Amino acid sequence: MEIQRIGVIGAGQMGNGIAHVMALAGYDVSLNDVSDEALAKSLKIIDKNLERQVAREKISEDDKATAMGRITTTRALEELGQTDLVIEAATERETIKSAIFEDLVPHLAPHTILTSNTSSISITRLASRTDRPEKFMGFHFMNPVPVMQLVELIRGIATDEPTFTACKGVVDTLGKTAATAEDFPAFIVNRILMPMINEAVYTLYEGVGNVTSIDMAMKLGTNHPMGPLELADFIGLDTCLAIMNVLHDGLADTKYRPCPLLTKYVEAGWLGRKTQRGFYDYRGESPVPTR
């Protein structure tokens, strides 16, 4: 099937990035959120990020104006029902995602494909809460969406070939690369990345090194562009903890046990950049390690 209209649920960091790249690639985008404030903020961020691409001569002013014109916003979930493809990018909690799909299903066109940008939750289980498990799959973008080149495509147990082919076609149109993953906890990227971050937190917790030395060791010793604790702050410590819990619960292996220090930071509300404090304090002119 030909996909022209795309619905994006959730106007947060991932949702606005997905809307940005979809509109720039020529799709009409309907961006949904429960908050008018979040929708307004999202449009400002998209405009700013497109302007950055103009300044770097990656796109023209006309490209930017056309892309912004393709994005509409709505708080009414039912308005996404007549789109060709829906990408859910809400909070990484299964109860929230399931409730969204259950509310959306009665309004869907027969041909609409449903996808989730989840970074760890079972696609098969989410699909089972809908009326179309064969037209449901994982569509996992990396953050920040306009910059990162990879998209994980995850088939649920019922996902049919036309659905996969249509979603793969969208990834190709975006100029990104698709990696096909099986539907097991955290898929490929986070199955490998999150235990590394968790181990970095254990290294801090056990006093092997401080925040600065751990991040410096990984940047200079393994040529990573960001240290694991800096990256955790960028992702959000609540998201990191949620994915570790999915791994621990889904695979029942103690090697995926979340570090108690990671849990403690989340309990404190120190979630990283988005709350101005995590493994670094971002409230001053430059980040300062908190341990």
Q: pLDDT by residue (tens digit) across 44-55?
A: 999 999 999 999
For the chain, what is the mean pLDDT?
Answer: 96
Would you identify the CATH topology of the domain 5-181?
Rossmann fold (3.40.50)
Quick check: 11 and 38 in contact, CB under 8 A?
yes
pLDDT of amino acid 92: 87
CATH code of the domain occupying 190-289: 1.10.1040.10
Q: Which residues is 155 bridged to in the sheet?
A: 137
- At 109 the pLDDT is 96
Residue 73: phi and psi, rounded to 5, are -120, 150
pTM here is 0.90
Percent of the chain with pLDDT over 90: 97
CB of 17 closer than 8 Å to CB of 53: no
- Do 256 and 120 form a contact (C-beta atoms < 8 A)? no
Q: Say whether 268 sits in a helix, a strand or coil.
A: helix
**Does 285 qualify as catalytic in the annotation?**
no
Q: What is the pLDDT of residues 240-266, one digit of tens each?
A: 999 999 999 999 999 999 999 999 999
**pLDDT > 70: what percent of the chain?**
100
Tokens of 246: 């999915």
Angle at 41 between CA 35 and CA 47, to 5 degrees: 140
Summarize the confidence of residues 122-151 as an average pLDDT: 96
Residues 6 or more apart from 277 whose CB is under 8 A from it? 270, 271, 283, 290
Predicted local distance difference test score (pLDDT) of residue 25 = 97
Residue 92 annotated to the active site: no
**Confidence band of 128 (pLDDT split at 50, 70, 90):** very high
* 1 confidence band (pLDDT: 50, 70, 90): confident
pLDDT tens for each residue of 199-251: 999 999 999 999 999 999 999 999 999 999 999 999 999 999 999 999 999 99
Angle between helices 61-69 and 13-24 in degrees, nearest 10: 110
The tokens 């100029």 sit on which residue? 175
State the pLDDT confidence band at 117, using cuts at 50, 70 and 90: very high
128 has catalytic annotation: no
**What beta strand segments (E) does 2-48 contain?**
5-9, 28-32
CA separation (Å) from 55 to 94, 170, 194, 286? Answer: 39, 26, 34, 25
Q: For tokens 């990484």, what's the residue?
A: 92
Residue from 30, 152, 198, 230 carrying the catalytic annotation: 152
> Is 119 an annotated catalytic residue?
yes
Q: Which of 32, 117, 190, 198 is catalytic?
A: 190
| Active-site pick, 30, 119, 122, 198 | 119
Q: What is the pLDDT of residues 73-90, one digit of tens each?
A: 999 999 999 999 999 999
Provide the residue ranges of all domains of the chain, joining segments of one domain with +: 5-181, 190-289
* Catalytic residue of the set 94, 140, 198, 230: 140
113: closest CA among 203, 122, 50, 123?
A: 123
The one-character DSSP state at 179 is E
